[in-house]
Structure formats: C-alpha cells, structure tokens
Amino acid sequence: MPCSPRGQIPTKAAYMPRWRRDKDHDKDPVVSDAAAPTLKRDVGAELEVEVTAATTLEFQIAIAPHPQAQVTESLEYRHNGKVIAAQEIIGAHGSRIHRFNAGEGIVTASYQATIVGRTTPPSVDDIDMSTYLRPSRYAEADKFYGFAATEFGQYADSETLLEKVSSWVGTRLSYVPGSSDPIDGAADTVLAGTGVCRDYAHLVVALLRAVNVPARLVAVYAPGCEPMDFHAVAEAFVDGAWLVVDATCLAPRQSMVRISTGRDAADTPFLDNHKGAINLKNMTVSAVVDGPLPHDSVHELVGLS
C-alpha cells in the first residue's frame, strides 16, 4: 500500500520533509509558483515480485494521462528475465491498469516518466457527484455523519472547510510506518491515532463526504516526500473544481503527479493479484523536480497539475 514501509518507528523530526525543514532554516528556499520556471518532474518505480503460485498480476504504477503537458515514459515488465506484454486497461479518470498472467518465479516492473509543464484540471462528471458522496470500503462516511456535522458543519466557505478538516486529521494522527493494516478503514484510524498516508487520506475523504462534499482518493508520485514512496492524498470537489487535501503535509501538492483515482485504496493499489500467491521482494520509488520544490501552504487551494 502507499506509504507503508514496515520497520523502525521514527522520531517526529524524521518525518518533517526536506522542503519544510529547508524553508524553516532558510536553506535552499522554495520558490513561489509565479517565480518558478516550467515545471519538470521525473518519476519512476522499480518493483521485484516473487510469484510462489501462478497468478494474475495488476500494476498501477504508470501515470494517468496529462493533457497539455509533455510526457515521455518507458514501462517494462519481465518474468524470469523475459519481457512480458501486459494488457493495458483504462479505468476511471485515466487510471492505467497493466495486467498479465505469471507463473512461479520473479516478476520485475520498471517505470520511468518525465512530465514537463502542467496538465489541464480533471474533468467533472455528473456520476462523480454521486459516487464520491457515498460511503466506501475504507472511507466509511456514514460512521462520521453526526461528528462531522458538529465539528465542521459551521464552515460555509470551501477554503476554511478544507483547511479545518486537513488540520484536524493532521493534528489527531501520528505518521508511523507499519502502524496500520491493509484492511483498516477511517474509523479504525481514528481509534488507533496513527497511520500512513492512505489512512490520513481515507479519514479526510470520509469526513468530507460526511459534510456533503464529494471526495476521493488519489495515488500520486510526490516529489519531496520523505520517506519516498507511493503517496496517497484526498481530492475534494468544491467551487466547481477538484482540489487536493494532504493532511500529512509530507510533500508540496503543486508538484504531485496523478497515478490513479478512485473511491479509496481499494481502487488505487500499485500492485494487486488474483488467485495464486505473491511476495513483494523489493520496491524503489523516485520522484524529483528540476530545480527547487514549489511553495505550498495549507491555507492555499491547490489542484493536481
């Protein structure tokens, strides 16, 4: 799952990302979007999967289409050293699923992409206004109706609402890798008080849906994210546009790159399999920008671009 490496428990300081540490100490300062040159982002992922019983694999590591941006990419899958031709399935909002059958052995996935410039805002479809208000597997909005109405119902303007929800989640949870299970939902996260990026995003999504704001989860490449991994954020529909909410504050939202979009993490896994058995042996994720990272503030309304 995104942002879920298991291992030692870090100190709080270990999870202040470099772009925030540098800003606080006036080192390598971030620049405003207005002063920044054309944004160039390089992202990629390398995965090694052991197949212990024949299975069907599905990967979502390739970025979604980015209209108007210049994109170059390479993607290769190998099984026991031989190149595999994967079927590409286009899902909701341009999510790209690469699917193939694999027998026992080692499967490797290698993906690199360069994105120059910014893409157009995501489309707004009528069905989204229904789908993303409903409770879902990991974002159980119906469990939060009463609480969310009391806590956030008084905030009429979008900017304040998103800031309050993001701040509430960010201050109530501690970011601890390995602290949650793949089957944990937003209610479990509140009770635990800890989680990783997908847990933060699920809780944000559930709270926003509970106050009648359409919200969904987006898997992204996130330059500046520490620890580097696939990242998950929430996307809320307010004032006629989809805007990013990231209660972890682990990376600037302006440089994030959309991979997949859905109701919750059930729709956006970077790796899934059907029947058989697999073990993820190794994974490396990379995401950088050419030049200083963009400036970000929880007080700003930002869309994925």
CATH of residue 121's domain is 3.10.620.30
Residue 303 lies in a domain: no
Q: What are phi and psi of 169, to 5 degrees?
A: -65, -45
Residue 295 lies in a domain: no
Contact of 278 with 50, CB cutoff 8 Å = yes
Cα separation, 287 vs 87, whole angstroms: 25
| pLDDT exceeds 50 at position 25 | no
Locate 57 and state its tokens. 């694999």
pLDDT at position 299 is: 81
Cα separation, 86 vs 68, whole angstroms: 26
Residue 113, H or E segment: strand 105-116
What is the per-residue pLDDT across 209-253, written as a single tens digit (0 to 9) for each? 999 999 999 999 999 998 899 999 999 999 999 999 999 999 999
Residue 235 lies in a domain: yes
- The whole-number average pLDDT for the span 49-76 is 98
pLDDT at position 300 is: 87
Cα separation, 232 vs 217, whole angstroms: 7
Percent of the chain residues past pLDDT 70, beyond the cut: 88
| pLDDT exceeds 70 at position 16 | no
Q: Which range of residues forms the domain containing residue 194? A: 12-289
pLDDT at position 37 is: 65
Q: How many domains does the chain have?
A: 1
Q: What count of other Cβ atoms lies within 10 Å of the Cβ of residue 47?
A: 20
What is the per-residue pLDDT across 91-136, written as a single tens digit (0 to 9) for each? 999 999 999 999 999 999 999 999 999 999 998 999 999 999 999 9
pLDDT at position 216 is: 98
